[in-house]
Amino acid sequence: MHNNDRENNSGTDRYVGRRRFLRAVGVTGIATGIAGCGGNEGDGSAGETGDGSDETASGDGGSGSTPTDSGGDTGGDGESGSTPTDSGGATDTDGQTFDDVTLEYVSWPQLANNADTVNQWLHDAGMPQGITVEFSNVFNVSGGARATYQQWLSANRETPDLMEFDTGWTQPFIVRNQILDLEENLPDDVVSKIKDDYFPEIVRSVTDGNGNLWAVPHFPDYPHIQYRKDLARQAGYDPEGNNWATTAMSWQRFAEVTADVVSQTDASTGYLWQAASGLQLASLVFNEYLSSWGGAYFGNPEENLFGPIGDRPVTVDEQPVVDSLKMGRSFIEGTTSNTLEDYATISPSSVYQGGPFPQFQEYQNGDTVMMRNFPFTLPTLGAEDQFGTDLGTMPLPHGVPEGEGNYPGTGGSVHTLGGWNVAVNPNSTNVAAAMEVLKALTDETVMLNTWELFGWIPPMRSVFDTSDARDVDILGRYVDTLLYAADNSLPRPATAIWTIQEQRVAQQAHDALRDRPPAEAMSKLKSQLQTIENNY
C-alpha cells in the first residue's frame, strides 16, 4: 500500500516531474472525458450511446458520452503519434527481450488522440522501450464494442491484442473463456496488488467464481448527485455545514429539499435522472432505486448477482422493488394510486426520454437544481465559466437505512458500478508484451496521470484518497463524494443471459414509471426473467 504522500511510490522527485511533464505536453484532457462507460457500447460511469440516451447501445447502460478529443499529439488511430522504439530492442525485468513490438489496443479516444504521451507514461512506468502501443477508438468499432469483440474472439482473430471491456459485460466473456486468464500470465505481485488494493467491487467484475483474475481494472465510474450549492444556500440550506458531500439523505428528504429550493429560487426544474426505456435504466438507475429500498433482482446480491443461472430466486415482485418504482413515479407525477404519498414532485416528464449526456447539456442552462450523472460532467460544470465552486456533489439517497434491506448489501445509499477493464486477446501473438502494458497500467503515477488529464478515477483507494488526487483542478473538489460512492457501490447483474434480461427489465421498469401499475409490471417481469433463466 502507498501512503497519502506517496513516499513509497517512485519518490517525490518522480511526482514533481509528473506535474511538470503534464504542464508541458499538449494533451487534450478531461473536458471531453467520458464517464465510466461510454460511446456506442458502454454501461456507465461513468457512458453509453453517442447521444446518451442508451436505446441504441448494446451495453448495459451508462453515463453517456461526450465528443472525442480533437487535439492532442496524434491522430484518432494513434498511429502517427507512437513513440519511436529502441532499434536494439529492450528487455523487461524478467529478461524478456522486445524488439520493435507494436501492440494494437482498442481503447478510448483520449488515449488514441494522445498516443505519444500515453506511451511515454507507460515507458516511464516500466514498459520496455521496444514496445509501442497503437490505440484505436472503441467508438469507431462498428456494431458496438461488445458485439464486435464477440465476433472477433469467436473467429480467433489475433488482433487487437488488448481491448477495453465495460465492467457490466466483462463477466460473460470470462464465463465463455474468451479472454486470457491473467492468473498464470501476470506476475504474482501484480495479481496480488489488484486483488488486495483495488476497489473490491471492480475486482469482482474481473474475477471468476474461483477468484482467478481475467482482466485489469482500468478505471471505475460512479453515478452521484450533482447540485447547485448557490441555489441551496439561497433557500437557506448549509451544504458544507451539513456535510452533503459525504452524507446520504433519504429519498424523501432529498425530494423535499429539492422542491423547496425550486420554490424559493429562480430554478424551474428540480431533479434530472434517466427513466428512458434503455440500458441505463435497467442496469443502473433501477438497480440503484430497488437496492436502496432493500430489494434485489435475484435475492441476495452477494450470492446471486452473477448466477447460478436457473438456480437463483427472481425477486423483482417484492414490495421494496415495487415501492422504489412508485417513488420514482412520484417524482414525476405526484401522488396518485400508483405512487407513494408524501414524496414531492421534482422531475419533468422529459426524464422519460432523458440520457446522461443530453441532461448534462440541459443542466448547463442553469435552471435545474439536482441531477444524477457521472464524473464526465464535472470538468465542464465545475469550471469557472460555468458554476465553479457553486457546483456540489452528494451521494445518491437511500430508500431505507443501510442494514435494513431484505438482503445483505441492500438498503442505504447504492451506486451502480461503472467503468472499464483491460483484457487480453488469448489469440494474440504478443501476450508477453501485452503483460508489460498491463503491468504499467497498474503504476500509481499512470493512474494519477489519467485522473488529472482524462478524469478517470484511479482504481486504488491508496491513489485516489490522497492530496495528489485532491490537488487536481476542479475534479479534486469532488474526490470525497466519489470515494463515498466507491465504498457504497454495487455491480450490475452481469451474466451470460443479462443481455436478454436487461431488455425486459428496461421495458417493464419504464412502464411501471409511466403508465402501468408497478406491482403488475413487476409480476410480469418476474415471469419473463424466470422463463429466460429456465431456458438457459
The C-alpha cell at 174 is 470470462
User: Which pLDDT value is given to residue 144?
Assistant: 85
pLDDT in tens, 158-182: 999 999 999 999 999 999 999 999 9
> What does the alpha-carbon distance between residue 269 and residue 286 come to, in Å, rounded to a whole number?
22
User: Given this model, what pLDDT does residue 92 score?
Assistant: 58
Query: CA gyration radius for the chain?
Result: 22
> For residue 263, with 0-12 CB atoms within 10 Å meaning exposed, 13-18 middle and 19 or more buried, which class applies?
exposed
Q: What ranges in 155-267 are assigned the alpha helix state H?
A: 170-175, 188-197, 200-204, 229-234, 251-264
Number of Cβ within 10 Å of residue 417's Cβ equals 30
What pLDDT is stored for residue 90 in this prediction?
57
- 384 compared with 494, residue with greater pLDDT: 384
User: Quick one: cell of 136?
Assistant: 484505436
Yes or no: say if 82 and 130 are a contact pair by the CB < 8 Å rule.
no
Region 222-251 average pLDDT: 99
Q: 204 in the Ramachandran plot: left (φ > 0), alpha (ψ -120 to 50) or beta?
A: alpha
Question: What is the structure's pLDDT at 123?
Answer: 98
First to last CA, the chain: 43
Residue 315 pLDDT greater than 70, yes or no: yes
Handedness of CA 520, 525, 527, 528 (dihedral sign): positive
Going by DSSP bridges, is the β-strand pair 269-272/368-373 parallel, antiparallel, or unpaired?
Answer: parallel
pLDDT tens readout for residues 359-406: 999 999 999 999 999 999 999 999 999 999 999 999 999 999 999 999
Q: Which of 47-51, 262-266, 377-381 has the lowest mean pLDDT?
A: 47-51
**pLDDT top residue among 220 and 43:** 220
Give the range among 60-74, 364-378, 416-430 with minimum mean pLDDT: 60-74
Beta-strand pair 97-98/90-91 = antiparallel
- Beta bridge mates, 269: 368
Residue 283 has pLDDT above 70, yes or no: yes
State the pLDDT at residue 476: 99
Distance in angstroms (rounded) separating the CA atoms of residues 281 and 287? 8
Element (H, E) at 291: helix 286-292
Domains delineated in the chain: 12-221+417-464 (3.40.190.10), 224-415+492-534 (3.40.190.10)
SS3 453: helix
Strand-pair partners of 416: 490
**Residue 232 amino acid letter:** A
- Give how far the C-alpha of residue 248 lies from the chain's centroid of Cα atoms, to the nearest Å: 20
Sequence-distant (6+) residues with CB within 8 A of 74 are 80, 81, 82, 112, 113, 114, 115, 116
Write the single-letter amino acid at 204.
R
SS3 36: coil
Q: How far is CA 125 from CA 37, 82, 112, 199, 219, in A?
A: 25, 16, 19, 21, 17
Confidence label for 139 from pLDDT (cuts 50, 70 and 90): confident
Residue 207 pLDDT class (50, 70, 90 cuts): very high
Is the per-residue pLDDT at 198 higher than 60? yes
Query: pLDDT per residue over 316-360, tens digit each?
Result: 999 999 999 999 999 999 999 999 999 999 999 999 999 999 999
Angle at 217 between CA 215 and CA 219, to 5 degrees: 150
The whole-number average pLDDT for the span 27-33 is 43
Kindly report, residue by residue over 293-310, the tens digit of the pLDDT: 999 999 999 999 999 999
Q: Is the pLDDT confidence value at 124 over 50? A: yes
Identify the DSSP state of 245.
G
How far is Cα 449 from Cα 21, in angstroms, rounded to an integer? 10
pLDDT for position 141: 61
Q: How far apart are CA 482 and CA 480, in angstroms?
A: 5
Q: Which residues contact 457 (CB under 8 A, 6 or more apart)?
A: 36, 46, 219, 220, 221, 222, 375, 419, 451, 464, 482, 486
d(CA 169, CA 161): 19
| Other CB atoms within 10 Å distance of the CB of residue 142 | 9
Taking the C-alpha atoms of residue 187 and residue 432, their distance in angstroms, rounded to an integer, is 11
CA 494 to chain centre: 14
Residue 261: closest CA among 280, 293, 235: 235
Looking at per-residue confidence, does 74 or 347 come out higher? 347
CB of 416 closer than 8 Å to CB of 292: no
| Predicted TM-score of the model (pTM) | 0.86
With 70 as the cut, is the pLDDT of residue 512 above it? yes
